[in-house]
Amino acid sequence: MPGYEVTETRLRCVLPFEAVPGEVPLLRRAAVRQLSRWGMPAAAGEAELLVTELATNVIKHVGEGATATLILEWCGEVLRLEVHDKSRAEPKLRAAGCDEECGRGLHLLAAVAVDWGTVLTAAGKAVWCEIPSGAGRACRRIERAVDVLERYQTVGGAALGLSGRGREAGLEESAVELIADLLHWTAARGNDPDHILDRAQMHYEAEVDAA
């Protein structure tokens, strides 16, 4: 029987949870604690956001009270998050401009993660995403930010096709609008926008100091 050899360090954590709103912050904290144990505190901010979206997706589209499982897996320079549930209905990334109920959370998932997808399993399905966890993280962040801001301009109806200083000014204005929208999103979910900004600044400074 042919086999294969795993040459990279692979760490895995399995966290079962019940799909109810009160479980989501507990799941986030459990994920952050695990990443700290693995020596990956810089990835915690993105992981918290992704865990929230993945778990909330189960509540909304599978049903409150459903049983699900979060899996964290760190292999090399990639952190992979998977949420398994018992529904075989795959989520769809729909056109920009729709409301939150038709897949806005998936747009956020696609914007934050470097890759994501769904896979059917014997018991239902898994929604997964991946984020970088090591070298090249800052460069990936910048590339991802430009991609998100350009797509955000399209959604907002901003002028496209600019170059030079015009393009930079457009991206800067889009960054301000995107941050403002994210703060509205944060407040709508019952969180403190100032606390979120402070945490984002802390993550930024930690990554700059580590570079």
**pLDDT digit string, tens, across residues 154-171:** 665 544 454 556 667 777
Instruction: Give pTM, 2 decimals.
Output: 0.61
**H-only helix segments in the chain:** 23-37, 44-61, 104-112, 137-156, 164-188, 193-210
**pLDDT for residue 33:** 93
- Tokens matching residue 120: 């059917």
Digitized pLDDT (tens) for each residue of the chain, 211 residues in all? 344 344 456 899 999 999 999 999 999 999 999 988 888 877 788 888 899 989 998 998 899 999 999 999 998 778 999 999 999 988 776 544 444 444 556 666 777 777 889 999 999 999 999 988 754 555 566 666 777 777 776 665 544 454 556 667 777 888 888 888 888 888 888 888 898 888 888 877 766 665 5
Residue with tokens 């991802």: 144
**pLDDT for residue 126:** 95
Task: Answer for the pair 57, 102: CB distance below 8 angstroms, yes or no.
Answer: no
How many Cβ atoms are within 10 Å of 160's Cβ, its own excluded? 10
CATH class of 10-132: alpha beta
Each domain of the chain, given as residue ranges in start order, spans 10-132, 137-210
